[in-house]
Amino acid sequence: MKKSYLLTTVLFLFLTCSSFAQTYVIQAKPLDSKEWGYINLDGNFIIDAQYRKCYEFSEEGYAPIFEKEEGYFFINIQGETLQTEIPGFALKEVFGVTGFDEGLAPVRINENWGYLNTDGKLAIPAKYSKVSSFKDGYAIAQVGGNFYIIDKQGNEKLVEVPGVTEIKHFSENLAPYKTENGLYGFINANANVVIEARFVSVGYFNAGLAWAKTNVATIGYLNPAGEWVIQPQIFITNDFDPETELAKVKHNEKWIYLNTKGEIIQFDDSETISEFHEGLAKGKKNEKIGFYNSNMEWVIQPQFDGVRNFKNGYAAAKLEDKWGIIDKTGSWVIQPVFAALKDVEKVN
């Protein structure tokens, strides 16, 4: 009897801790409002709609906010401002605003960039002319014409590649680099060239492959050794999706999918095809939008007037002019009662 009680107690505590560890937050705009706030999965506001410019929460539990008078700052899910030792900083603005990644946020102080931690401290000094976000434990930093690979402690490795002019962020432990002759290759976290710069353009490694464009304007896929796994033949392509291992490509004027073996997969029951996110892709039929899986089967029948991609198991969906949140069965988790919604973010 005691053993049964103990097991029940342990299970209850496990489920409670797991539930507590997974908090979901969504940017939301109420009807007839110009301001954004944040709601939970019950559809209730946890931070009132009061911001014209606010951005997604990171897993670390902070979201960037911009206000004219104050500039940039961070709030937690209680709406409290993160107190920092560096007031007056700026954030990176590339397809949105970059906040925390892997516990560090790139911040600009005057003309130089460094990294802020979640304690509000400048963890890596602002001494760089350019920086990237942290991915796979590393970031790219630049001072003048010199590039460095830095870790989360701020330790630097000089990239001694002749004529390097650009290095992008890491994915699967490799980062694309560009040389002054306009060609791309890949380096590793030790700042060593793994794949020589011989391509006119490249993508990022996902599912063990990266696309690369040759000097004759065809595209194929490379493995980390720089060998062609899928020979150059495709004219327009995207990175592989890590979960389904499918890439959306345009071949012979038609959008199709390609798997990592180079096999072509078509889905003819949708007027459009999209990239996969969390195992599902959005498609369109009779002017309505739904989701299909990697077997090219409708999982959520086309019924919505607008959708966002799935993230953390949920997607924003629109009926007429109102937005709500659905799960992967297509059921409403939050009824469509909002003027706008963004992605469901998980906060640890």
pLDDT tens, residue by residue, 42-65: 999 999 999 999 999 999 999 999
Domain that residue 254 falls in: 179-266
- More confident position, 19 or 241: 241
**316 and 325 Cβ atoms separated by less than 8 Å:** yes
- Mean of the per-residue pLDDT values for the chain? 92
Among 70, 43, 121, 117, which Cα is nearest to 323's? 43
- Confidence at residue 4, expressed as pLDDT on a 0 to 100 scale: 40
**296 and 265 Cβ atoms separated by less than 8 Å:** yes
Residue 331 forms part of a structural domain:
no
Secondary structure element (H or E) that encloses residue 7, with its range: helix 2-21
Among 244, 253, 254, 249, which Cα is nearest to 230's? 249
Q: What is the DSSP letter of 317?
A: E
Q: CB-side exposure of 61: number of CA atoms within 13 Å?
A: 14
Residue 228 forms part of a structural domain:
yes
- Confidence at residue 5, expressed as pLDDT on a 0 to 100 scale: 39
- Confidence at residue 21, expressed as pLDDT on a 0 to 100 scale: 52
Residue 193 forms part of a structural domain:
yes
Q: What is the tally of helices (H) and strands (E) in the chain?
A: 1, 33
CA 184 distance to own-chain centroid: 23
Write out the two tokens for 219. 């595209």
Write out the two tokens for 225. 């050794």
**172 and 180 Cβ atoms separated by less than 8 Å:** no
Whether pLDDT at 298 is above 90 = yes
- Confidence at residue 256, expressed as pLDDT on a 0 to 100 scale: 95
Radius of gyration of the chain measured on its C-alpha atoms: 23
Q: Do β-strands 53-54 and 63-67 pair in parallel, antiparallel, or remain unpaired?
A: antiparallel
Burial degree of 143 (CB within 10 A; 0-12, 13-18, 19+): middle
Secondary structure, 3-state, 141-200: EEECCEEEEECCCCCEEECCCCCEEEECCCECCEEEEEECCCCEEEECCCCCEEEEEEEC
Burial degree of 131 (CB within 10 A; 0-12, 13-18, 19+): buried
The neighbour count for residue 26, using CB atoms within 10 Å, is 26
pLDDT band of 223, cuts 50, 70, 90: very high
State the first-to-last Cα distance of the chain, in angstroms, to the nearest integer: 35
* Domains of the chain: total: 1
In whole angstroms, what is the distance from residue 296 CA to residue 270 CA? Answer: 10
161-191 tens-digit pLDDT: 999 999 999 999 999 999 999 999 999 999 9
Q: What is the pTM of this model?
A: 0.88
Among 63, 83, 87, 89, which Cα is nearest to 75's? 63
- Confidence at residue 15, expressed as pLDDT on a 0 to 100 scale: 41
Whether pLDDT at 104 is above 60 = yes
Among 340, 308, 335, 303, which Cα is nearest to 321's? 340
**Residue 69: phi, psi to the nearest 5?**
-75, -40
The CATH number for 222's domain is: 2.40.10
Residue 203 forms part of a structural domain:
yes
**275 and 241 Cβ atoms separated by less than 8 Å:** yes
In whole angstroms, what is the distance from residue 292 CA to residue 18 CA? Answer: 29
In whole angstroms, what is the distance from residue 117 CA to residue 152 CA? Answer: 10
In whole angstroms, what is the distance from residue 168 CA to residue 190 CA? Answer: 15
**323 and 339 Cβ atoms separated by less than 8 Å:** yes
